[in-house]
Amino acid sequence: MLKNKVVRYEISHLKVIMNMTLVMTFKIT
């Protein structure tokens, strides 16, 4: 149960990082 929650949190965190990098690259170009 706890492990599943952690995995879900990690995935959401990864998505946020990906979105941030995407936004940054778009702003640079």
Dihedral over alpha carbons 20, 23, 24, 29 (to 10 degrees): 160
pLDDT value for 12:
95
Q: What are phi and psi of 25, to 5 degrees?
A: -65, -40
Q: Chain-wide mean pLDDT for the chain?
A: 90
Give percent of the chain with pLDDT exceeding 90. Answer: 66
Task: Write out the H or E segment, with its range, that includes residue 27.
Answer: helix 2-28
pLDDT value for 17:
96
Overall number of domains in the chain: 1
What's the mean pLDDT in 3-28? Answer: 92
**The domain containing residue 6 runs over which residues?**
1-29
For 21, residues 6+ apart whose C-beta sits below 8 A from its C-beta are none
